[in-house]
């Protein structure tokens, strides 16, 4: 059926019961894990009898559990939510945000994940300038030698790093990369305290920060890279860091991160 073009714009197509059901699910969080029927009704602004059928339906479908007259999120919500997040490719999620960051800063942006001791570059938003930093997709660089790689290492525990680098010769890499395992562990511990990491090489500077998943774990890293002439300005770099952190937070939220 075709709707008339003159249809009143104020016509409300909302389904009240559906809106209330979704409102109920939205009441639960890390701080609010269970609610009584009376508490749910009060937040919705309705009587307990008016919300009873909604709670029964959500419980029957597995979206809520009822224990001792208290309601909490059911396995259906958790499994469906995690399945959706897992199905979203990180490049798909990050791409528009990195492109926007590139456009706002005129600097190249990169995305990487860790594979063993390497930082693997998955995406680049290339800034078309003569002095732009351009690292091709698929490039692998040892984690301890780059800002993004160092960010990725902060997602590991001390024992994990020690096991990972047990057979790796660090003294083959030039300064300022750490040349021993104790030096590497010390660097990572210091890096954990920083929101943004900086690395200089070949007349260019990169600043990087981490992306977090629904468990709050660092699973990827993004950076802004540019010539020293641009990045050396303290005011400019503070602005770049602010934009980089905002970009990382936006991507992390889409990946399911709850600050």
Domain membership of residue 11 (yes or no) is no
Same domain, 109 and 237: yes
Last residue of a domain, one of 62, 83, 104: 83
Residue that terminates a domain, selected from 34, 62, 83: 83
Q: Which of 57, 83, 109 is the endpoint of a domain?
A: 83
Q: What is the pLDDT of residue 5?
A: 47
Q: Are residues 77 and 95 in the same domain?
A: no
Let me know if residue 78 belongs to a domain.
yes
Q: Is residue 133 part of a domain?
A: yes
Here the CATH number for the domain that contains residue 243 is 3.30.450.40
Question: Which residues are within 8 A (CB) of 210 and not within 5 positions of it... i.e. 6 or more apart?
Answer: 151, 152, 154, 155, 218, 219, 220, 221, 248
pLDDT tens digits, 148-173: 999 999 999 999 999 999 888 888 88
Amino acid 8: pLDDT: 47
Tally of structural domains, the chain: 2
| Range of the structural domain that residue 25 is part of | 16-83
Residue 2 clears pLDDT 90, i.e. is over it: no
Is residue 1 in some structural domain?
no
Contacts of 178 (CB under 8 A, 6+ apart): 144, 170, 184, 186, 187
* β-strands 218-227, 70-73 pairing: unpaired
Specify whether 215 is located in the same domain as 97: yes
Residues 115 and 72 in one domain: no
Note whether residue 5 is domain-resident.
no
Average pLDDT over every residue of 120-134: 79
Report the pLDDT averaged over residues 127-138.
75
Assess whether 101 and 58 both reside in one domain.
Answer: no
What CATH number does the domain containing 66 carry?
1.10.10.10
Identify whether residues 140 and 201 lie together within a single domain.
yes
Distances (CA, A) of 27 to 57, 82, 101, 132: 17, 18, 33, 47
Output the six-digit token pair for 248. Answer: 């990382």
pLDDT in tens, 223-237: 999 888 888 888 888
Nearest of 108, 131, 132 to residue 121 by alpha carbon? 108
Q: Give domain status of residue 8, yes or no.
A: no
> CA 243 to CA 60: how far, in whole Å?
45
Q: Does residue 188 sit in the same domain as residue 62?
A: no
Same domain, 72 and 174: no
* 206, part of any domain: yes
Q: What is the pLDDT of residue 84?
A: 55
Check whether residue 69 and residue 187 sit in a common domain.
no
Under the banding of pLDDT at 50, 70 and 90, the label for residue 201 is: confident
CB atoms within 10 A of CB 151: 30
pLDDT tens sequence across 92-112: 999 999 999 999 999 999 999
Q: Is the pLDDT of residue 9 over 70?
A: no
- Do residue 134 and residue 93 come from a single domain? yes
Q: What pTM does this model have?
A: 0.67
Residues 176-187: tens digit of each pLDDT? 889 999 999 999
Q: What is the mean pLDDT of residues 7-34?
A: 76
Indicate whether 36 and 136 sit together in one domain.
Answer: no
Helices 37-44, 48-60: axis angle to 10 degrees equals 110
């Amino acid at each position: 059926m075709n709707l008339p073009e003159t249809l009143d714009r104020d016509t409300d197509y909302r389904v009240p019961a559906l809106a209330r059901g979704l409102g109920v699910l939205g009441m639960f969080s890390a701080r609010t894990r269970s609610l009584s029927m009376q508490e749910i009704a009060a937040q919705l602004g309705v009587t307990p009898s008016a919300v009873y059928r909604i709670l029964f339906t959500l419980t029957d479908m597995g979206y809520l559990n009822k224990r001792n007259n208290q309601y909490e999120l059911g396995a259906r919500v958790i499994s469906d939510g995690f399945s959706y997040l897992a199905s979203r490719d990180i490049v798909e999620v990050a791409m528009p945000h990195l492109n926007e960051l590139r456009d706002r800063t005129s600097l190249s942006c990169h995305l990487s994940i860790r594979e063993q001791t390497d930082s693997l570059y998955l995406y680049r938003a290339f800034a078309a300038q003569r002095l732009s930093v351009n690292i091709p997709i698929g490039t692998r660089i040892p984690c301890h030698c780059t800002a993004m790689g160092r960010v990725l290492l902060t997602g590991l525990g001390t024992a994990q790093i020690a096991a990972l680098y047990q057979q790796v010769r660090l003294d083959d890499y030039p300064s300022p990369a750490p040349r021993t395992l104790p030096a590497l562990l010390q660097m990572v511990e210091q890096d954990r305290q920083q929101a943004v990491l900086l690395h200089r090489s070949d007349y260019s500077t990169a600043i990087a920060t981490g992306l977090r998943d629904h468990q709050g774990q660092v699973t990827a890293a993004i950076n802004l890279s540019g010539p020293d002439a641009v990045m050396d300005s303290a005011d400019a770099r503070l602005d770049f860091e602010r934009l980089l952190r905002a970009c990382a937070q936006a991507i992390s939220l889409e990946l399911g991160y709850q600050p």
